[in-house]
């Protein structure tokens, strides 16, 4: 009986690793295609596959995002579709915003915030069909736009701290709709912002023992392959087609946010 039990355990572990690799491949394509971190898939995937608790899943997801963000930035930068200045400005704001968000998390109810954010995403989806980005447009940065980008980072950080949403869901449409960036520059810049965020967050989570590095590597390394593929697809399709695809992705995010808000009990304690 013991031998059969061990065989069964090994089979389950093997199946889990296969599922983690598949999760990474899917998340990587999303990251490359839309300039997002992929946490919208990685976190629920880890909850389901490895039965992680929410904190461990979020921390592991943040660590997995680092390698795919690096590959994604390089993929977009090859064609000049990354704004280093804009990324720095947004990242500076997001550092302060994240601190505010985590503090507000203890005081504000999550349900109305999640519903409000989902409604905000619906507004963004509608806007994507009204404004088609120009891929030849330059992202001009003045003192006014620089200040606005810092504010964008603060808002992004607050929402990330409050709701655990990835910054790309906010940064990409904001750069396109508010600052006139092309969809490719918005996506490449968003991925660059994620690198310091992922690195600092992972170091903090590692000290708090909220990261499973082996699981992060199992997801993050395969994701690097499809991140590159996703960025190539994003470059190949037209701006209108890219907006439609991004709108479909945001619809998925909004539905998931509504679902979280409407769930009564939430997930169980889970692993660790």
What confidence tier does 91 reach under pLDDT thresholds 50, 70, 90? very high
Tell me, what's the pLDDT at 205?
79
Helix, strand, coil percent content, the chain, rounded in steps of 5 = 80, 0, 20
- Distance (Å, whole) CA 92 – CA 166: 16
- Distance (Å, whole) CA 230 – CA 158: 28
Mean per-residue pLDDT of the chain:
84
Residue 165 has pLDDT above 70, yes or no: no
Q: Which of 155, 221, 178, 188 is nearest to 36 (CA)?
A: 188
Q: Which of 194, 222, 156 is nearest to 34 (CA)?
A: 194
Please indicate whether residue 235 or residue 268 has the higher confidence score (pLDDT): 235
* Cα separations in angstroms, 170 against 3, 125, 195, 197: 51, 12, 16, 15
Q: Are 211 and 205 in contact (CB under 8 A)?
A: yes
Q: Are 24 and 225 in contact (CB under 8 A)?
A: no
pTM over 0.85: no
């Amino acid at each position: 009986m013991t031998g059969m039990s061990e065989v069964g355990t090994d089979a389950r572990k093997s199946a889990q690793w296969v599922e983690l690799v598949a999760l990474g491949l899917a998340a990587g394509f999303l990251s490359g295609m839309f300039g997002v971190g992929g946490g919208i898939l990685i976190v629920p995937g880890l909850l389901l596959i490895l039965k992680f608790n929410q904190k461990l899943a979020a921390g592991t997801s943040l660590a997995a995002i680092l390698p795919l963000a690096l590959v994604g930035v390089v993929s977009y930068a090859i064609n000049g579709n990354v704004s280093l200045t804009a990324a720095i400005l947004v990242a500076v704001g997001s550092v302060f915003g994240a601190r505010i968000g985590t503090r507000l998390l203890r005081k504000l109810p999550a349900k109305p915030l999640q519903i409000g954010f989902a409604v905000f995403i619906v507004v963004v989806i509608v806007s994507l069909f009204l404004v088609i980005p120009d891929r030849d447009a330059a992202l001009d940065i003045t003192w006014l736009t620089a200040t606005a980008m810092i504010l964008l980072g603060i808002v992004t950080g607050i929402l990330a701290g409050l709701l655990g949403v990835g910054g790309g869901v906010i940064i990409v449409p904001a750069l396109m709709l508010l600052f006139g960036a092309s969809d490719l520059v918005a996506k490449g810049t968003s991925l660059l912002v994620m690198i310091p965020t992922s690195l600092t967050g992972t170091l903090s989570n590692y000290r708090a023992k909220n990261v499973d590095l082996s699981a992060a590597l199992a997801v993050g390394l395969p994701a690097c392959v499809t991140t590159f593929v996703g960025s190539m697809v994003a470059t190949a399709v037209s701006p209108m087609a890219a907006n439609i695809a991004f709108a479909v992705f945001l619809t998925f995010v909004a539905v998931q946010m509504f679902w979280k808000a409407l769930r009564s009990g939430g997930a169980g304690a889970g692993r660790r």
